[in-house]
Chain A
Amino acid sequence: MNREQTSRLLQQHGAVMVLGLLVIVGSLAFDSFATPANAASVVVSSSFLAIIAIGMTFVIISGGIDLSVGSLFVLGGVLAAYGSRHGLLAALLLPLAVCGIVGLLQGLVIARTGMAPFIVTLAGLLGVRGLMLAISDEGATTYLVEDRTFAALGQNELLGLSYPVYVTIALALAAMVLLQRTGFGQNVYAIGGNEQAAALMGVPVARTKVYVYVMSGLLAGLAGALNAARLSSGVTILGIGLELDAIAAVVIGGTLLTGGAGGISGSVAGVLLLGVIQSIINQVGSLTSAFQQVVSGAFLALVVVAQRLLSKAQRLT
């Protein structure tokens, strides 16, 4: 294997390798780390961020960014709790419909006007937060989940893992196929890699972009809804800054922020990595959760530096 292949492999699967390494280190260092209970808690708490990160991966590979997902996550939760008064279907459809429409609007503005995704979704972040506050009496009202079946969706367990974990796994697998094995996935890579060329090669650039932001919106809404089901209420204060966690996870997973390269497995590994770091720091009883931020930040910096060096190595050959 030559240097180019090695560096490409590291770039694509580095996150999975580091994750494996960290799990081994954690298991050796702490007795209570490699227990089923701890593993389950890491996996369950990671699943919501993972769902968002899947959508973010599509957006970033297409060369964009979506800052609105944190707000959409909260909005999704509030709407799901609100909708649960009218049954399971409303609890699921209401957040999906609204968040999907927000994604659609953002996608249309980005695709049609050529405005920077960063700005459009920054406006989305603010606007959606405003919308969420508006329907919850400025955040004062916390709707409770009233539909049993819906609550069960977030709380019931199968083989020691709650349902959202399986939803996440299913979504991740579907997203992999979508990205690697469909025309749509190819279009996403092509747009992120070279938008002008993609247009000349017949890729429907505008439509693909719109789909990508709709997807991101839908997934953020779904994650919010499942989280509301888990907590039995539409909490209005969660999800702040979640968009940055999602971006961090995707970048750690080896997806280039410049677009055109990356994958789902890396992003999921990135989310788990953040979760494992937190878990390890929790094991060291004396450290506060603030340390987790320090380590996550340092780790993110390390990853991007490593990525730069790897991509330089590839270019030299």
Chain B
Amino acid sequence: MAELTSRQGGRVAVRKPQVYAWVQDYGVYAAVLALLLFNVLFTPHFLDASNFRTQLVQVTPIVIVSLGMALVIGTQGIDLSVGSVMALAAALTVLYLGYGWLPALIVAVIGGAVVGAAGGALVAYVGVQPIVATLALLVGVRGLANVLVPQLVEFRNPGLIALGSSSVAGIPVIVLIAAALTVIVLFVVRRTTFGRQVVAIGGNRSASELSGLPVKRVLLTVYVISGLLAALAGVLATARLQASDPTSLGLFIELSAITAVVVGGTPLTGGRIRVLSTVMGALLMQLLAATLIKHNLPQSWTQMVQAVIILAAVYATRKRGTR
């Protein structure tokens, strides 16, 4: 197939190579910008600080989860378990809240790392396909979270509530945390040996093995990081809700995260990671939903438009992926 599709790819690429390259690299930024501009012009109260804050707070969990997802997808993998990990983190947080919010947070994050390690071990050491390995975790871990905390539990721990609702210089703490995590992941991808190894493994696993890269360890680590980030997102979301809701927290967030990564131009075929574009992808989807709601278009529209955007983004970026 490679030969036949690359031939087709070649034919199109000859006609408009620059256009495709440009759309792939900057399309998501342009789309966010265009949407912002539209809102500034046509949406009343759009520029209010409170509106901005709401939008950012809402998108935070998706941004954090999609950072991990981008790493996983860069290795040619996928992590479907992130939503369930968020639920598990919510359950663990409320169970250990008696020891203080920080110990609870640490336990929750460790729980996420353990789930990530389980998925990573299945993928790296047993050789199970990422999609099935993490599907098993999606089902099982959600169940586990529900077994631990069968129904919604509200809490009044001031530390945790503060984490979810306080601001520094007008910017919510959880948004700052997401920004800091973005910077860290960006640094890891661009400037560390580990980051280079992740993309190399995604680009060609057997070549990486023969080049002496610790392939299995890197793969395992990537899933651990994804689990860790998802757990953190779960704790932050719980802090904001002021309630632990393992039944519905993080449902379908794996789809939103994959969407953000894909819309950001990271190919599902691996070997490339675009961190900032992934964050932009998440923002774009959030902004889109907000815009439609502000203009009194129902939720059904949002989903259909999202579907179109996913298709358009992948269609525009597929050329480089097939090469």
Contacts and interface: CB of A to CB of B under 8 A. Distances in A.
A292 B306 CA distance: 33
A120 B308 CA distance: 10
A255 to B, nearest CB: 11
A293 B142 contact: yes
B127 A308 contact: yes
Contacts of A131: 300, 304
A138 B3 CA distance: 46
Nearest to A312: B127
14 contacts: A114-B5, A118-B131, A119-B314, A126-B255, A126-B310, A133-B298, A196-B4, A244-B80, A290-B145, A290-B147, A296-B139, A297-B138, A297-B141, A308-B128
A115 interface: yes
A4 interface: no
Interface in A257-312: 257-258, 288, 290-298, 300-301, 304-305, 308
Given A291-B143, A293-B140, A301-B133, A116 B268 contact: yes
A25 B55 CA distance: 53
A274 to B, nearest CB: 10
Give the residue among A132, A133, A293 with the most B Cβ atoms within 10 A. A293
Interface residue tally on B, bucketed by range: 35 or more
B105 interface: no
B146 A288 contact: yes
Interface in B261-313: 262, 268, 298-308, 310-311
A248 B140 CA distance: 12
A130 B315 contact: no
B35 interface: no
Given A125-B255, A290-B150, A301-B136, A114 B129 contact: no
A29 B99 CA distance: 41
A132 B298 CA distance: 12
Contact of B137 (A130, A288, A297): A297
B186 interface: no
Contact of A199 (B1, B136, B301): B1
Contacts of B179: none
Contacts of A295: 140, 143
A312 B42 CA distance: 61
A294 B126 CA distance: 21
B58 to A, nearest CB: 18
Given A133-B298, A138-B298, A247-B135, A296 B146 contact: no
Interface in B134-176: 135-147, 150
Interface in B113-136: 122, 126-129, 131-133, 135-136
A116 B135 CA distance: 18
A130 B139 contact: no
Interface string B1-14: 11111001000000
Nearest to A297: B140
A163 B21 CA distance: 55
A7 to B, nearest CB: 15
A251 B122 CA distance: 15
Given A109-B311, A122-B258, A196-B1, A127 B138 contact: no
A298 B136 contact: yes
Contacts of A301: 122, 128, 133, 136-137, 140
Contacts of B136: 248, 297-298, 300-301, 304
B226 interface: no
A296 B308 contact: no
A124 interface: yes
Contacts of A130: 299-307
Contacts of B147: 288, 290-291, 294
A290 B146 contact: yes
A15 B219 CA distance: 30
Contact of A134 (B5, B122, B268, B301): B301
A133 B150 CA distance: 29
B126 A305 contact: yes
A196 B135 contact: no
Nearest to A293: B143
A244 B136 CA distance: 10
B143 A290 contact: yes
Nearest to B131: A257
A293 B133 contact: no
In the complex, the 10 A-B pairs of residues with the closest C-beta atoms, listed nearest first: A297-B140, A293-B143, A130-B303, A127-B307, A290-B146, A133-B300, A130-B304, A297-B139, A134-B300, A294-B143
B205 interface: no
A41 B23 CA distance: 53
Contacts of A291: 143, 147
A129 B303 contact: yes
Contacts of B4: 196, 199
A21 interface: no
Nearest to A302: B136
Contact of B311 (A115, A248, A288, A304): A115
A248 B136 CA distance: 8
B133 A297 contact: no
Given A115-B318, A300-B136, A123 B143 contact: no
Contact of B135 (A195, A240, A288, A300): A300
Interface in A90-137: 109, 113-116, 118-120, 122-127, 129-134
A5 to B, nearest CB: 22
B322 interface: yes
A138 B299 contact: yes
